Structure 1
Amino acid sequence: MPKMKTKSSCKKRFKTTASGRVVAAQAGKQHGMIKRSNKFLRNARGTTTLAAADEKIVKSMMPYAR
């Protein structure tokens, strides 16, 4: 059986931790920073782990990242 392919979009946007959780960048920081509050920008730094429902979707597109 041939190898399964990983979705290129997921490969670029997500990483998995050693415990199997999916890590992603915080949303809402591409543009429009002037209208956002300082609290929002401060809390949106770095990365975050996805919710279980979203994690399931991403893992289905990354067959070897388990």
Structure 2
Amino acid sequence: MPKLKTKRAAAKRFKVTGTGKLKRSKAYKRHILTKKSSKTKRNLRKAGLVDSTNVKTMKKVLPYL
């Protein structure tokens, strides 16, 4: 059986935590920041986790992560 290929775009966007969960960065932090509150922007800096409904798909896309 041939080796599985990793989707490189996904590999650049996701990391695995120590407990095996997938870490991601949050959206809506690139532009139009003037109308967003400081609290919102501060919370967007923090990393988020991939939702449990998407984990199965992500593990398929990132077989060696």
List alignment gaps of at least 5 residues for structure 1: none
Q: Can you list the C-alpha shifts for 1:38-66, whole angstroms capped at 9, x where unaligned? A: 1210111131111101222211100112x
Q: For the residues of structure 1 that align with 2:51 and 2:30, how far apart are their CA atoms?
A: 21
Q: For the residues of structure 2 that align with 1:56 and 1:36, how far apart are their CA atoms?
A: 33
Q: Which amino acid letter does the alignment assign opposite residue 22 of structure 1?
A: L
Q: For the residues of structure 1 that align with 2:55 and 2:13, how far apart are their CA atoms?
A: 13
> How well do the aligned residues superpose, as a CA RMSD in angstroms?
1.2
Give the 4+ runs in structure 1 shifted more than 3 A: none
- The answer to which structure has the higher strand fraction is 1
Q: For the residues of structure 2 that align with 1:16 and 1:30, how far apart are their CA atoms?
A: 24
List alignment gaps of at least 5 residues for structure 2: none
Task: Establish whether residue 42 from structure 1 lines up as the match of residue 42 from structure 2.
Answer: yes
1:23, distance to aligned residue in structure 2 (A): 0.2
Q: For the residues of structure 2 that align with 1:47 and 1:57, how far apart are their CA atoms?
A: 20
1:30, distance to aligned residue in structure 2 (A): 1.4
Q: For the residues of structure 2 that align with 1:61 and 1:40, how far apart are their CA atoms?
A: 30
Aligned residues: 65
SS of aligned partner of 1:36: coil
